[in-house]
A and B are shown apart, each in its own frame.
Chain A
């Protein structure tokens, strides 16, 4: 149990376009999901915390108008990178908190390349 999926696993887009990444908890409900960003050989940095049915909470320095997060149901959160630029190229990973536990379960990540 406790499986989190992400789609797509890899995406290439042109500068100026928008990209949507989906994060799903497959076998449990998650009222809280998290979005992280990881650059090569660096650690995961939290971008935002999303709670089902409410606005996401963004970390300092993360542009909320650029990284749109929607947590429309207990099993789905989406991250939309708007007007993407090459510097947005990174590995985006979501995680979900499983109710009744103290654990976050991570998705496999989405590699975004902006050309």
Chain B
């Protein structure tokens, strides 16, 4: 079993839809949770960072962490074609000074 599981998609939605992206994990030591966006042949770009359980909102993006269920989510409101990319969840037990464990990424396509 992988430490982090993420549905690879692809996920196709119409412009303006609410997108829900999810990851599950098995290591209860993870405390730091991140979402990255990666365009084709580019490096990942940090979108959201959350410590421990709870919600965090930034513009059209909301990150949720449920440590009791070992489940994290990223919601994108009013999705735009420019949101089309691969979304990677990443986790760490000790923060950014230590290794990040990535999910395989979900490929999102927002149709105009």
Contacts and interface: CB of A to CB of B under 8 A. Distances in A.
Interface of B, secondary structure class, is: loop
Interface string B85-112: 0001000000111111011110000000
Contacts of A93: 43-44
Contacts of B99: 34, 46, 49, 59
Which of A41, A43, A102, A109 lies at the interface centre, i.e. has the most chain B CB atoms within 10 A of its CB?
A43
Given A41-B8, A44-B88, A102-B51, A107 B100 contact: no
Interface of B: 8, 32, 34, 36, 41-46, 49, 51, 88, 95-100, 102-105
Interface of A: 4, 6, 32, 34, 41-46, 49, 59, 91, 93, 95, 97-98, 101-109, 111
